[in-house]
A and B are shown apart, each in its own frame.
Chain A
Amino acid sequence: MTDTPPSSQAIPTGFAQMFVEAVPQLKALGVTFEALENGRAVVRLPYDEKLVGFPDTGVIAGGAIYTLMDSVAGISVFAALGAYMPMATLDLRIDYLKPATPHQDIFGEARCYKLTRKVAFVRGRAHHGDPERPIAHITGTFFIDRPQKTPQQTPEPA
């Protein structure tokens, strides 16, 4: 993912960290904030027995990875917006490229590669530390509930 982020503004990493800590489901999963740089957001899901979806192999449930990726995708949109705005996932597709390795943490990273006034387009991947060996890939669109603009204000960039 080498795309140029649609906005050079950056929300403080402190905000992204606070966001991760304030979401009860992320707290329950044990998700931690890792990084926010150049429009790319990274979070980490520590391996935990309670998240196992395949008891015969100890592999983490797809749903836990899905939740991780939905969250990091949202954070990448905040980063592209340069501000917190209410938003909603319109759709999210995940491809499970290979099973996660038991007892290894999972990193989720995402980048908003296109931002329009009302819709953000994101892609991302999950991996065990090497982004070139992904476990899962996601694409998603998010609806942005921006405050109403008055007509005098500058038009949005393409």
Chain B
Amino acid sequence: MLMPELKRVLKGEAHALPITSIPYAQFLGLALHRADDGRLLLAMPYSETLIGSPKPPRLHGGTIGALLEFAGSIAVTRAAHEEAGIALGSFPKPIGITIEYMRGGAPQDIFASAEVLRLGRRVANVTAKAWQEDDSRINAAATMHFLMPDAQA
């Protein structure tokens, strides 16, 4: 199942699209961006509802985790589609995720990108990172593995 937003961004029909096909992605306000170099970014625009620590205001670490998880799952879907030519029958399900937090999330937009280290038939291994103004100043990094769903019938 290629999310309609992902399909459109990969086809080049749009450079940036909010994800509306998944309720929780919409809840977080996530949007897909395709950079000029083809890299996919997932953006979580700042909203006061994302705050997890009011004084000083910091993004909730959990929402950064959720952003990284989505970025990973989208990267797996894209890799299956583009590298293996497989249309997955459903969204990859996360098995385990470990997130290291390096900087608190300032009350501003945050971005994530993910890299599939290995796309197996059963399991995919992924890393992802999240940053705000500067992609060399990482807020959080994740290692995760997903259970590969069956191909679309």
Contacts and interface: CB of A to CB of B under 8 A. Distances in A.
Interface of A: 22-28, 49-56, 60-64, 66-71, 88-96, 99
B49 A63 contact: no
B50 interface: yes
A23 B55 CA distance: 10
**Chain B residues touching A, majority SS:** mixed
A62 B97 contact: yes
Contact of A25 (B25, B51, B67): B51
Interface residues of B, number: 37
B63 A67 contact: yes
A71 B24 contact: no
B27 A51 contact: yes
Contact of B49 (A24, A55, A60): A24
B1 interface: yes
Contacts of A53: 22-25, 91
B21 A70 contact: no
A96 B104 CA distance: 25
The 3 A-B pairs of least Cβ separation, nearest first, read: A63-B66, A67-B62, A61-B24
A93 B97 contact: yes
A25 B22 contact: no
Interface in B65-120: 65-67, 69-70, 90-91, 93-101, 104
Nearest to B48: A24
A25 B50 contact: yes
A63 B101 contact: no
Nearest to A93: B98
Given A51-B27, A52-B22, A66-B69, A89 B96 contact: no
A63 B61 contact: no
A51 B24 CA distance: 4
Contacts of B53: 23
B93 A99 contact: yes
B34 interface: no
Contacts of B49: 24-25, 27-28
